[in-house]
Amino acid sequence: MSELLPQLPDQFSPVAHRHHGRWVAANFIAGQWTDSESRTAVQSPLDGREWLEIPRATPAQIDEALAAALTAQPLIRDIPAVERIVLFERAADLLRRHEELFRALLLIEAGKPAREAAGELAATGERLRMTMQEVKKITGEYIPGDWARDTTGKIAIVIHEPVGSVAAISSFNYPLYIPAAKIIPALLAGNSVVAKPSSSVALTLLCFARLLEEAGFPPGALNVVTGSGEVGDRLVADERIDMISFTGSTDVGRRIAQTAGIKKLHLELGGKGAAIVLEDADLELAAAKCVEGSLKNAGQRCDAISVVLVMDAVAEPFVRRVRDALAARWRTGDPRLPETQIGPVINRHAAERVQQLIDDALSRGARLLAGGRHRDCYVEATLLDHVPPDARIALEETFGPVVTILRVKDDEEALRLAQRGRFGLDSCVFTANFYRMWKLAKRLQVGGVAINDLPRHGSGYFPFGGVRDSGIGYEGIGYSIEEMTRRKTIAFNLEPAGLGKPHRIDGS
């Protein structure tokens, strides 16, 4: 890995240093870069080599981070919103200046090919630049009291205030964008943050924290602690945390909800996105979009197309087009090569799990039309047709590069299969018939439906969020910042100044 990240730019020297051929990272607490008593070795999915050591934050360090966030709350809150925007504009410029570093980190930590890394960088930069649109949501509401008898002579205003301290806990699949999409609205709304990244991709977030430090955010406004799930458990349970923003598995999200206590929760959890392809769909378009939606980012997306439900009447021509689209472009391999579209999944365990899902489907009668094997962390781009409804891959979130096709006889069967489980994040419908589209879009119990396209959250300009086991809360430009605030009603009695409306039609 030394040849991929031979050194860090001078500005990032506090974040990590070289020691015996590995990088050794530090935590970021109260504006200081600090080591820990013990560390965890991190493997790269590129070849399984240990290339990085991250600190295991101790209980004392977690407590220090929480105390720093509490102290920093009035500091970040007292910075006028227009000046917070200036800080984020500086951060966007710094990110642009150091794009090569972040491309290298996304490659080493997450195995992202150049195209995927570029997309994540662009989305993060766009999110930083669109803070002006987000901050406009921190407004208020005027309520005249004379529309109700008991408030006549009074008025009220409803204002948005920061929630306080936010625990931002992120997953591995988008090491830069997901934590940034939590940290940006939290700080913009005037909150302080304690962030915990996935251990496998921690250095990317630590370097992003360094950008925000360089941009001028006050010490303690953002703290980053690394380590095992015990670190997250301590953050979730601590009373100094006012809100938890978590992206990850439904099982962990459920545990957070059970142990957090009375806190505001934003949970983006698992998904089982379905694509429904109707008889009148543009099959060329539908095939290309279903392949991209299934294979993009090696299938490691909560908004991935996880099952394709195609009408029997057009199944044969549709599957031929899917096979052609997959073969024409989607190659699995070393993400450093320009022709590679699909890099490794995050680790060997993840690859083995995807292989088990493929093997289970084949044992139940599914037909393998492409791929079907894995080596180390690399899973071949796989196409499964005639997948039976009882196969695990038809029910579970895949999180791997597999196009899973089930054939259905009508809309009702498609709807039934699309929402058998408890997931409800995204789905999509391919059709030229407005009325059928509307019927399906209304009946799908999900947070978002894409029409004639794959679901994609991108920079968050279009809002998104899950229902049922896919999460709590709504995310996106403007919507995220509302999640990071709470409302306060301030009522005024105008009668002492004679400004109310005391006259009544009965003369009383």
**Contact criterion met (CB below 8 Å) for 106 and 175:** yes
Which position among 64, 109, 116, 302 bears the catalytic label? 302
**Contact criterion met (CB below 8 Å) for 418 and 276:** yes
Phi, psi at residue 18, to the nearest 5°? -85, 140
CA distance 35 to 55: 6
Phi, psi at residue 264, to the nearest 5°? -75, 135
Q: Is 42 left (phi over 0), alpha (psi -120 to 50) or beta?
A: beta
**DSSP state letter for 464:** B
**Contact criterion met (CB below 8 Å) for 206 and 228:** no
268 a catalytic residue: yes
**Contact criterion met (CB below 8 Å) for 27 and 57:** yes
CA distance 202 to 200: 6
For the chain, counts of helices (H) and of strands (E): 16, 24
Q: ∠ CA(7), CA(227), CA(9), 5° rounding?
A: 15
Distances (CA, A) of 216 to 89, 162, 185, 221: 11, 20, 16, 10
Which position among 120, 213, 268, 475 bears the catalytic label? 268
Chain centre distance of CA 203:
17
100 a catalytic residue: no
Neighbours of 266 (CB within 10 A): 22
**Contact criterion met (CB below 8 Å) for 241 and 66:** yes
CA distance 255 to 469: 12
Q: Which residues are catalytic?
A: 268, 302
